[in-house]
Chains A and B, each alone.
Chain A
Amino acid sequence: MMAFSLLPVFEWMESTPIGQTIRQSASLIALVETVHLIGMTLLLGTLLMVDLSLLGLGIGRAPAARIARELRGWTVAGLAIMLTSGPLMLSSEAVRCYNSPAFWIKMALLAVAVTFHFTVHRKVVAQEPPVQRLSAEWTACLSLGLWTSVALAGKAIAIFQPN
């Protein structure tokens, strides 16, 4: 049994004027989802490029470190857009999300993906000369796998209705 429950926090989120306003407007929900998808497009598009470079499929002979440096602003922008629009979507149906296993799986995967990105991934990408092929390949595959899982878990929140 849990010592405390986060449910009141989720109930409060849903009761805020922002949560209520978004909840009652189909166009606002569509707008926030669009912004969330554009953030995802930037984040996944830039990370795909960096990870392809780690796999030896980069742009010309450009090292992954340079590709990552020249895309970092957009990767961070994509993440920032998602981390802003995400809580807005959450506030419109916080209690439903609280009861949704997919939501908690997504949050756990997101925590792992973000931690991995700013530690292992960043370190491997920045190394010049490039690290051994094998660890670069593992890092790229893990990165792509983790972020794709986050996206799939996000879709699952909408698909699976909690009991």
Chain B
Amino acid sequence: MDILSICQWLDSTRLNAAMRMSTWFFPTFDTIHTLGIVLVAGTIMLVDLRLLGLALPSESVAAVVRRIVPATLWGFALMFVSGALLFTSEAVKLYHSPAFRIKLALLALAGLNALIFHLTIYRDVAHWDQAAPAPLRARLAGLLSLAFWIAIIAAGRAIAYGSGYDLG
């Protein structure tokens, strides 16, 4: 069973029909999705800017990460659940949207970047906790993260306005 047939099956479910019949479904979950992304990107950007030495220079990196990551995870939960529901409401349409595929790829890259950061250089954060800017590899992770999240926001807008996807 390939991905397209999964999307076709999703589009044929009763849940999908109920979502498309509802006037309120799309605006509500689109709003939750946007707020979720703003929360994720807005909190992650603070960590990125701290790593680059461009914000919060007096605070230790570990303290910033400890405070911010729970908010990021809440934002991610909002974004993921609303995103999955929005996808279910128009799966085949999104399957054919290049911007949607790019957005998924960017999300995977942003996640991979965060994972590598946490598993490698962040492990001995104790050694560079107070440094502003942080060591080169941490700065690189921060810079990549900023770029990925800006691109994710742009890809999201491109889904709405781009080719292969018609708002009407």
Contact = CB atoms under 8 A, between A and B. Distances in A.
Interface of A: 26-27, 29-31, 33-34, 37-38, 40-42, 44-46, 48-49, 52, 57-60, 62, 66-67, 70-71, 73-74, 148, 151-152, 155, 159
Interface in B113-168: 149-150, 153-154, 157-158, 160-162
Nearest to B49: A74
Given A70-B58, A152-B31, 9 more contacts: A31-B154, A37-B38, A41-B41, A42-B45, A49-B46, A49-B68, A62-B63, A70-B55, A70-B57
A148 B38 CA distance: 11
25 contacts: A26-B162, A30-B154, A33-B157, A34-B157, A37-B34, A37-B153, A41-B38, A41-B153, A42-B42, A44-B38, A44-B39, A45-B38, A45-B39, A45-B46, A46-B55, A49-B43, A49-B67, A52-B67, A59-B67, A62-B58, A62-B63, A67-B59, A71-B46, A148-B35, A155-B34
A40 B37 CA distance: 11
A64 B78 CA distance: 27
Question: Which 8 A/B pairs are nearest by Cβ-Cβ distance?
Answer: A45-B42, A30-B161, A30-B157, A26-B161, A60-B63, A159-B27, A41-B42, A34-B154
B60 A60 contact: yes
Contact residues of B: prevailing secondary structure = helix
B50 to A, nearest CB: 9
A34 to B, nearest CB: 5
Contacts, number: 96
A75 B34 CA distance: 19
B56 interface: yes
Interface residues of B, number: 35
Contact of A155 (B31, B46, B161): B31
Contact of A30 (B49, B59, B67, B160): B160
A30 B56 contact: no
B64 interface: yes
Contacts of A155: 27, 30-31, 34
B59 A62 contact: yes
Contacts of A45: 38-39, 41-43, 45-46
A34 B153 contact: yes
A58 B67 contact: yes
A57 B43 contact: no
Nearest to A32: B157
A30 B42 contact: no
Contacts of B102: none
A41 B45 contact: yes
A30 B162 contact: yes
Nearest to A160: B27
A43 B42 CA distance: 8
